[in-house]
């Protein structure tokens, strides 16, 4: 059984301007101990997808439909009280900006032990011990001292380590990490990613890594899901997606990477902008920006076509005969 | 922390001096002959001259001011032109009553307003929120002297439940008098275990306290609501949710501790209102406080009394705001760093 | 600052300017107007204000006994309960309270608009100058302002009236004296934040004179917050005028001032309940309507309130 199975997830927001369709029928699954990357530009719906997995979207104005099975149980059908027992214990989430993610008026110790004692039956002393070992686990020096500090006394990297520590303090089996390194310096970014990889090895925790940075996903993820316009447009093992993208959008996204300069068919940027979620284009939502656009792309929405084992793409070119998206002449280099 | 407090206190003294200068010169320059008030309208010119010398009014203004300030520091606040008693004695006698009224009202307002504001922030845009909004704006808009009269119509005329005014019933004051220890009647009644007096005091307090609390309750509810909404939008609230912290705990512990800082500032500012609001409430309920003393002083142009009351009011106003600032830095660890 | 004004009219333009200060251009404005339209309490307040202004304006026409409204007494019908002849009853000199209240509305509204407008006229330029020039000018203006602000405004007004003499005009003057510093502080804060903005620096680098920048760029941008503050202040000044009247420092008999009427009715509160109740009710509704509108505006346009 998969650890997490997301089936036809749809998220909409009612605003005064109209209905915003942020996520439009997303399907994917996560296996135990696996790191998958949810990649896309900002506005592609990846953060909303992540937030809705733990129902962290306020309803109303938001509305989550579909099903999210965690170990076979649908999280969307659970009551808030039951959900709160899963949040932080089985499934945890960490966010983009560690600077604002910790409560400024409580000490680090108070914030860690609060979560531990909430989910595990421990005495205050045991909880404190546990907090110390967690801080050690995430590689922080002087854990005893850190317990008594307030968030504003620590650096961004340290705070992110602490948040990861809290998230994993109750042996969570799934960690949802929403852009965990974006707000950090490049050197710190690498350290945090390394930490995530180490923790996966040691705690066998599965990670959903949400990022706009294909490079980050390439370094860490086993599998990649590429999102665009609130849908998944391509999935597959990281290496396969990177070396052989099967959707024009993925191709364009890779073209944005600096190390692709030697590619003959080089795309510096993808022309156009992410679609307006209030008014998604008909047909394939990428068609206004797509260089391979055909007539039917403007009218019909391509579904995800299987290409190989765990390899899918939502492009009509793939359906036609499984041939490469990129014309062989271009790709041959 | 100590340095900060010292600087604030120095600033406070400066402001007090400034206020005393303004009030002093206003009261000496503009009115016609304070001395004639002292001797009365039928006095002969010689008596007037004598009174001028006695009150020091024959000296140049700056000399009068310096002399007044010197006396002030030595504890001589002048003699009230109306009661003919030393102003500081009068103030000491009336102030405790006012402070009790204010402390009771503000405590009630904090106990009601802050949790209510947190609650309605949680229920944003629901019926309770709109209702509380109308209620709190109404509380801020209602003239206290009119509300006091409405209470009298309701509690005295219609229901016949409460005494019209005063601090304590004459009979209770005679039958079970309160031994003065602190000068605060409620406190003294509690200390001496004088239950019948305590009950009577509380019965007399209901209407004044409710009247004076209307504005602060509205203010605190509104302020707590808006700061809570701001705080609830913060990332760390989402983080707490993602870790499975229960909503009630998030609202009343995680968020409220962050929201209490700005609310404290409003509480400090509201104290000023309460000092002044007490003037009107005391007048209507014949509450023997500094407000009645001040209003009578103003109406009879009793300048030493006015000046004394002003200084006391300003002193408390500034003192409370200082305490609030210090409290805030104790509650929010980030302030200490600055 | 290149927002295109789609919606016309001075008020909406003011709103636009302020929302530009707050954040994105038209997006925000249409959202603000949308929120404001949905704010039924604020709309109710606005309707009440319009109603009261009309009632005050038409007082001589609407009042059944205009002469009594201005002070003529009718000792035959003293302290009559509300009825067909006298909707709100009569006072201790037999005057029709309904007529008195209509005339009282005029006093309250004129005093409140007058005080607020004058306080803005004094406070806004001082605040803009202090914030824009900074340095010694700022120091001097702000220390004086601080001194006024370290004292509750109404208490200051009470002291001033007790010194310059009782009466409605003196009360209004005293309120002006104690009210302007609030605008100085408000406008100074906005000016300082505007000074850093690109359009002001741009104007300065083009060699446009300071006076012109102040008048063309700084002051207009303060209008939004000032108007919101003023809306609430009008309510507060109504309350303050009535308070001064109530303790006998403001309007003097036989002026039909609402606070003074309550003070007169106070002696009869347990027998003739209507005497103090109706004037107070009108003050309450008047202040409430201004506060509802002010609160609605503030909530809508305060960028911190949006999530």
Q: For chain A (length 333 residues), average pLDDT per consecutive 10?
A: 84 79 84 87 83 82 84 82 83 84 86 84 84 85 85 85 85 86 81 86 87 84 86 85 80 64 53 72 76 75 77 74 41 32
Tokens of B223: 């302020």
pLDDT band (50, 70, 90) for residue C7: very low
CA distance C148 to B186: 35
pLDDT in tens, B264-318: 878 877 887 788 888 899 999 999 999 899 888 888 878 788 888 888 887 887 7
Q: What percent of chain B has pLDDT over 90?
A: 20
> Is it the case that residue C25 has pLDDT exceeding 70?
no
Tokens of A273: 């902008």
For residue A321, the model assigns a pLDDT of: 54
User: Under a CB-based contact definition with an 8 Å cutoff, are residues B267 and B276 in contact?
Assistant: no
A200-205 long-range contacts, CB within 8 A, separation 24+: A200/A33, A200/A35, A202/A137, A203/A168, A203/A171, A204/A32, A204/A33, A204/A173, A205/A33, A205/A168, A205/A172, A205/A173, A205/A174, A205/A175
CA distance A310 to B58: 103
Decide if A16 touches C, using CB distance below 8 A. yes
Q: What is the mean pLDDT of residues C63-77?
A: 82
For residue C11, the model assigns a pLDDT of: 38
Residues with Cβ < 8 Å from C188, sequence gap 6 or more? C127, C128, C130, C131, C138, C141, C142
- Lowest-confidence pick of A101-115, A260-274, C167-181, C242-256: A260-274
pLDDT band (50, 70, 90) for residue C21: very low
- B-C C-beta contacts closer than 8 Å: 129
Contact B156 C152 (CB under 8 A): no
Give whole-number Cα distances, B100 to B146, B169, B212, B227, B272, in Å: 22, 17, 12, 29, 15
- Residues of chain B with C-beta less than 8 angstroms from the C-beta of A106: 254, 257
In the block, which residue shows the tokens 């307030």? Answer: A150
User: Under a CB-based contact definition with an 8 Å cutoff, are residues C144 and C178 in contact?
Assistant: no
| DSSP at A281 | P
Residue B253, sorted as left (phi over 0), alpha (psi -120 to 50) or beta, turns out to be alpha
> Is it the case that residue B332 has pLDDT exceeding 80?
no
Q: What is the mean pLDDT of residues C258-263?
A: 92
| B328 vs B274: which has the higher pLDDT | B274
For B171, other C-beta atoms within 10 Å of its C-beta total: 10
Decide if B226 touches C, using CB distance below 8 A. yes
Give whole-number Cα distances, A50 to A22, A179, B56, in Å: 12, 11, 80
CA distance B102 to B282: 11
Q: Searching chain A, which residue's CA lies closest to the CA of residue B260?
A: A105
Pick from B243, B247, B258: CB nearest A105: B258
- Lowest-confidence pick of A41-55, C17-31, C177-191: C17-31
pLDDT band (50, 70, 90) for residue C257: very high
Pick from B229, B276, B299: CB nearest C154: B276
Q: What is the mean pLDDT of residues C41-70?
A: 89
Residue C79, sorted as left (phi over 0), alpha (psi -120 to 50) or beta, turns out to be left
Mutation to test the C interface, candidates A13, A14, A16, most C Cβ within 10 Å: A16
Q: Phi and psi for A9 in degrees, rounded to 5? A: -75, 130
The complex's ipTM works out to: 0.83
Tokens of C225: 């917050």
For B192, other C-beta atoms within 10 Å of its C-beta total: 16
Please state the pTM of the whole predicted model.
Answer: 0.79
Nearest to C73 by CA among C92, C89, C86, C60: C92
For residue C239, the model assigns a pLDDT of: 93
CA distance C103 to C251: 13
C38 three-state secondary structure:
helix
> Is it the case that residue C307 has pLDDT exceeding 60?
no
Decide if B37 touches A, using CB distance below 8 A. no
Q: Looking at chain B, which subunits does it touch, using at least 3 CB pairs closer than 8 Å as the criterion?
A: A, C
pLDDT in tens, B20-51: 787 777 766 655 566 666 676 677 778 777 77
Listed by number, the residues of chain B in 95-114 with a beta carbon closer than 8 Å to a beta carbon of chain C are none
Q: What is the mean pLDDT of residues B150-163?
A: 89
Residues in chain C, how many? 307
Residues with Cβ < 8 Å from C268, sequence gap 6 or more? C79, C92, C275, C276
| Min distance B92 CA to chain C CA atoms (Å) | 20
In the block, which residue shows the tokens 């304590």? Answer: B168
Give whole-number Cα distances, C273 to B158, B163, B217, B285, C104, in Å: 11, 17, 26, 17, 19
For residue A130, the model assigns a pLDDT of: 83
Pick from A89, A150, A163: CB nearest B239: A163
Decide if B306 touches C, using CB distance below 8 A. yes
> Is it the case that residue C18 has pLDDT exceeding 50?
no
- Lowest-confidence pick of B189-193, C201-205, C232-236: C201-205
Q: Which residues pair with B79 in a beta bridge?
A: B86
- Lowest-confidence pick of A159-163, A311-315, B164-168, B243-247: A311-315
User: Under a CB-based contact definition with an 8 Å cutoff, are residues A217 and A39 in contact?
Assistant: yes
Mutation to test the C interface, candidates B21, B121, B130, B149, most C Cβ within 10 Å: B149
> Is it the case that residue B335 has pLDDT exceeding 90?
no
Q: What is the mean pLDDT of residues B208-217?
A: 94
pLDDT in tens, B44-87: 778 777 777 777 777 777 888 888 788 888 888 878 878 888 88
- Residues of chain C with C-beta less than 8 angstroms from the C-beta of A16: 31, 34-35
In the block, which residue shows the tokens 């201790």? Answer: C92
User: Under a CB-based contact definition with an 8 Å cutoff, are residues A104 and A126 in contact?
Assistant: no
Handedness of CA B68, B72, B76, B81 (dihedral sign): positive
Contact B236 A54 (CB under 8 A): no
pLDDT band (50, 70, 90) for residue C32: low
Q: What is the mean pLDDT of residues C281-306?
A: 82
Handedness of CA A215, A217, A220, A221 (dihedral sign): negative
pLDDT band (50, 70, 90) for residue C84: confident
Strands (E) in chain A, as ranges, are: 4-15, 18-30, 35-39, 62-70, 73-74, 91-94, 174-178, 206-211, 223-228, 231-237, 305-308, 311-313
Nearest to B309 by CA among C146, C162, C145, C245: C162
Residues in chain A, how many? 333
| Min distance C196 CA to chain A CA atoms (Å) | 26
C72 three-state secondary structure:
coil
> Is it the case that residue C305 has pLDDT exceeding 50?
no
């Amino acid at each position: 059984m998969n650890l997490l199975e997301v089936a036809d997830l749809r998220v909409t927001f009612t605003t005064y301007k109209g209905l915003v369709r942020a996520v439009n029928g997303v399907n994917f699954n996560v296996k135990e101990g696996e790191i998958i990357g949810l990649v896309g530009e900002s506005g592609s719906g990846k953060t909303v997808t992540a937030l809705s997995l733990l129902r962290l979207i306020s309803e109303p104005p938001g509305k989550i439909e579909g099903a999210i099975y965690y170990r076979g149980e649908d999280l969307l059908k659970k009551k808030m009280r039951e959900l709160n027992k899963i949040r932080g214990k089985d499934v945890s989430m960490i966010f983009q900006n560690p600077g604002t993610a910790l409560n400024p008026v409580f000490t680090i110790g108070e914030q860690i032990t609060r979560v531990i004692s909430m989910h595990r039956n421990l005495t205050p002393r045991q909880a404190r011990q546990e907090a110390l070992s967690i801080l050690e686990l995430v590689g922080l020096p002087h854990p005893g001292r850190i317990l008594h500090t307030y968030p504003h006394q620590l650096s961004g990297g340290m705070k992110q380590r602490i948040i990861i520590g809290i998230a994993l303090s109750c042996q969570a089996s799934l960690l949802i990490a929403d852009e965990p390194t974006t707000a950090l310096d490049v050197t710190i970014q690498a350290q945090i990613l390394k930490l995530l990889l180490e923790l996966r090895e040691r705690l066998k925790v599965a990670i959903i890594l949400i990022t706009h940075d294909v490079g980050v996903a390439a370094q860490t993820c086993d599998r990649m899901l590429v999102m665009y316009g609130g849908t998944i447009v391509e999935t597959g093992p990281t290496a396969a997606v990177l070396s052989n993208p099967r959707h024009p959008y993925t191709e364009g996204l890779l073209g944005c990477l600096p190390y692709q300069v030697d590619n003959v068919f080089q795309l510096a940027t993808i022309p156009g902008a992410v679609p307006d979620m209030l008014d998604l284009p008909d047909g394939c939502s990428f068609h206004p920006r797509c260089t391979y656009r055909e007539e039917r792309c403007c009218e019909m929405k391509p579904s995800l076509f299987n290409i190989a084992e765990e390899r899918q793409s939502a492009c009509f070119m793939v359906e036609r005969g499984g041939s490469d998206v990129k014309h062989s002449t271009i790709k041959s280099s | 922390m100590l340095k900060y407090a010292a600087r604030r206190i120095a600033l406070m003294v400066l402001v007090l001096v400034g206020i005393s200068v303004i009030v002093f010169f206003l009261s000496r320059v503009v009115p016609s002959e304070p001395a004639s008030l002292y001797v009365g309208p039928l006095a002969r010119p010689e008596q007037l001259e004598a009174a001028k010398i006695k009150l020091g009014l024959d000296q140049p203004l700056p000399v009068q001011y310096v002399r007044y300030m010197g006396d002030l520091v030595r504890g001589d606040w002048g003699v009230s032109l109306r009661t003919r008693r030393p102003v500081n004695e009068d103030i000491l006698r009336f102030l405790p009553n006012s402070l009790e009224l204010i402390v009771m009202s503000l405590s009630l307002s904090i106990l009601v307003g802050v949790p209510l504001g947190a609650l309605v922030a949680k229920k944003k845009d629901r019926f309770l929120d709109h209702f509380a909004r109308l209620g709190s704006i109404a509380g801020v808009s209602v003239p206290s002297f009119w509300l006091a009269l409405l209470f009298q119509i309701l509690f005295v005329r219609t229901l016949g439940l409460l005494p019209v005014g005063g601090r304590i019933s004459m009979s209770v004051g005679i039958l079970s008098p309160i031994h003065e220890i602190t000068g605060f009647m409620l406190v003294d009644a509690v200390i001496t275990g004088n239950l019948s007096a305590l009950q009577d005091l509380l019965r007399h307090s209901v209407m004044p306290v409710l009247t004076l609390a209307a504005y602060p309750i509205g203010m605190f509810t509104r302020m707590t609501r808006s700061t809570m909404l701001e705080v609830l939008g913060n990332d760390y609230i989402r983080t707490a949710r993602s870790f499975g912290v229960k909503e009630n705990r998030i609202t009343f512990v995680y968020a409220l501790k962050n929201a209490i800082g700005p609310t404290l500032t409003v509480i400090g500012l509201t104290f000023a209102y309460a000092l002044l609001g007490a003037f009107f409430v005391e007048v209507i309920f014949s509450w023997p406080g500094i407000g009645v003393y001040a209003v009578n002083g103003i109406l009879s142009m009793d300048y030493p009394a006015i000046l004394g009351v002003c200084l006391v009011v300003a002193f408390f106003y500034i003192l409370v705001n200082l305490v609030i600032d210090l409290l805030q830095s104790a509650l929010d660890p980030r302030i200490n760093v600055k | 600052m290149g927002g295109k004004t789609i919606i016309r009219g001075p008020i909406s333009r003011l709103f636009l300017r302020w929302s530009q200060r707050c954040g994105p251009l038209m997006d925000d404005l249409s959202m603000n107007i949308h929120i404001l339209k949905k704010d039924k309490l604020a709309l109710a307040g606005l309707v009440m204000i319009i109603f009261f202004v009309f009632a005050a304006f038409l007082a001589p026409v609407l009042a059944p006994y205009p002469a009594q409204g201005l002070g003529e007494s009718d000792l035959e019908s003293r302290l009559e309960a509300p009825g067909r002849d006298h909707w709100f009853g009569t006072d201790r000199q037999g005057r029709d309270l309904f007529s008195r209240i209509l005339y009282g509305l005029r006093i309250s509204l004129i005093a409140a608009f007058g005080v607020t407008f004058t306080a803005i006229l004094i406070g806004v330029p001082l605040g803009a100058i202090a914030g824009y020039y900074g340095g010694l000018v700022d120091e001097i203006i702000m220390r004086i302002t601080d001194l006024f602000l370290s004292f509750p405004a109404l208490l200051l007004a009470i002291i001033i009236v007790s010194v310059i003499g009782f009466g409605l005009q003196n009360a209004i003057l005293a309120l002006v004296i104690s009210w302007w510093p609030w605008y100085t502080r408000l406008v100074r804060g906005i000016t300082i934040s505007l000074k850093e903005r690109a359009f002001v620096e741009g104007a300065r680098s083009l060699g446009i004179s300071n006076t012109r920048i102040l008048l063309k760029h700084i002051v207009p941008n303060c209008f939004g917050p000032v108007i919101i503050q003023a809306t609430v202040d009008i309510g507060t000044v109504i309350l303050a005028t009535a308070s001064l009247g109530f303790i006998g420092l403001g309007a003097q008999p036989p002026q039909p001032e609402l606070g003074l009427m309550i003070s007169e009715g106070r002696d009869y509160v347990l027998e003739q309940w209507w005497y103090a109740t109706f004037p107070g009710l009108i003050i309450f509704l008047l202040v409430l309507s201004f506060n509802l509108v002010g609160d609605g505006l503030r909530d809508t346009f305060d960028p911190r309130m949006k999530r």
